[in-house]
Amino acid sequence: MNMPVEPLNNVSTHTLLEINNLSVAYGKVEALNGASLRVGEGQIVTVIGPNGAGKTTLLSAIMGVLGSQGQVSVDGTVENVPQVEIMVGRGLGLVPEKRELFTSMSVADNLLLGAFQRHCRGERDHGQTLKEVYELFPRLWERREQLAATLSGGERQMLAVGRALMAKPRLLMLDEPSLGLAPLVTREVFRIISTLREQGVSILLVEQNARAALRVADYAYVLETGQIAMQGPARQLADDPRVIEAYLGLSSRHQEMLAT
Ligand code: ATP
């Protein structure tokens, strides 16, 4: 009997996002140093790493929020200098670590703003997308009139993801979606990440909660001090003694509790 073959070098599907030799410096501080990675269509790819490794910097540079050196290509089209509007137009969406909601606006208005660029392009089907987002997050439907400022941490995270989904991204980049969330809410967020992939959205997931991230992802990269230190199929990395010691060991037990 033939066993399924693991994507050892992560090239088994059509390439949606590829970055090559990406570097970012804040003045003299080199936060990202020649990082390369790939996300295939329909994949969940995670980047794990400690505080200050450069994870947020990586996502910001891909999205064009931060200037960088190197290459970012979406669907084979190379962007030497990514710009936010262009990257959104190419199908990239970012849920930033700080969520950046419009706190004095209602849940419904925050969601509608997520479809603004599509509206400007003449697409008028945001009503259907809104319905899909409310189906995915019934809690947001219940709270649709409520001001974003008054939402709980988990609800804010749902709103941030929902708002990004309103742009109908092909690739959703999530920066620490489990940050500050209670264990049960964290589980719910990771369940939704799997659901999104089933619906055809590819995911680039940045996480400190390595255990939960490796459980949900197909492929994983370890980022340390701005460089990709390790990579491999997520299940394989989860069994790697170096990953276990640094990210999944006893000191990470609290993460186990968060993830299950
Ligand atoms: P965390 O998991 O704590 O969010 P991270 O892996 O996302 O960390 P980054 O936020 O990308 O890490 O930061 C990478 C490095 O760049 C850190 O050393 C940080 O102090 C530095 N850095 C980030 N933003 C700036 C900035 N605006 N100016 C100067 N240095 C910065």
Q: Is the CB of 52 under 6 A from ligand 1?
A: yes
Same domain, 24 and 122: no
Q: Which residues, at least 6 apart from 80, have a Cβ–Cβ distance to it below 8 Å?
A: 71
Instruction: Report the 10 Å Cβ neighbour count for 247.
Output: 24
Please report whether residue 97 resides in a domain.
Answer: no
Q: How far apart are CA 209 and CA 63, in angstroms?
A: 22
Residues 43-54 pLDDT 10s? 999 999 988 999
- Average pLDDT, integer, range 21-27: 95
Q: Which atom of ligand 1 is nearest to the CA of 223?
A: 6
Same domain, 115 and 20: no
Least Cα distance to 174 among 152, 196, 148, 153 occurs for 196
Residue 19 tokens read as 């970055």
- Average pLDDT, integer, range 58-67: 94
Q: Is the CB of 31 under 6 A from ligand 1?
A: yes
186 neighbors 137 (Cβ within 8 angstroms): no
Using the mean position of ligand 1's atoms as its centre, give its distance from the Cα of residue 131 in Å: 36
Same domain, 2 and 83: yes
Q: Is the CB of 60 under 6 A from ligand 1?
A: no
Please report whether residue 131 resides in a domain.
Answer: yes
Residues 89-131 pLDDT 10s? 899 999 988 778 898 999 999 999 888 777 777 777 778 889 9
Using the mean position of ligand 1's atoms as its centre, give its distance from the Cα of residue 20 in Å: 20
3-class SS string, 50-86: CCCCCHHHHHHHHHCCCCCEEEEEECCEEECCCCHHH
Q: What's the start-to-end Cα distance of the chain, in Å?
A: 33
Task: Report pTM.
Answer: 0.87
Please report whether residue 34 resides in a domain.
Answer: yes
Same domain, 82 and 107: no
- The distance between the two most distant Cα atoms of the chain, rounded to a whole number of Å, is 59
Same domain, 110 and 87: no
Same domain, 117 and 221: no
By residue range, what is the domain housing residue 70? 1-6+15-91+176-260
What letter represents residue 45's amino acid?
A: V
Question: What CATH number is attached to the domain comprising 19?
Answer: 3.40.50.300
Provide the domain count of the chain: 2
The label of the residue with tokens 């979606």 reads 177
Q: Is the CB of 226 under 6 A from ligand 1?
A: no
Among 55, 204, 205, which residue has the most ligand 1 atoms within 8 Å of its CB, making it the best to mutate?
55
Q: Is the CB of 209 under 6 A from ligand 1?
A: no
Q: What is the mean pLDDT of the chain?
A: 87
Q: How far apart are CA 216 and CA 259, in angstroms?
A: 10
Residues 203-240 pLDDT 10s? 999 998 899 999 999 999 999 999 999 999 999 999 99
Using the mean position of ligand 1's atoms as its centre, give its distance from the Cα of residue 18 in Å: 22
Going by DSSP bridges, is the β-strand pair 171-175/92-95 parallel, antiparallel, or unpaired?
Answer: parallel
Q: Is the CB of 26 under 6 A from ligand 1?
A: yes
Residue 52 tokens read as 């200050």
Q: Is the CB of 57 under 6 A from ligand 1?
A: yes
Helix or strand or coil: residue 212?
A: helix
Please report whether residue 96 resides in a domain.
Answer: no
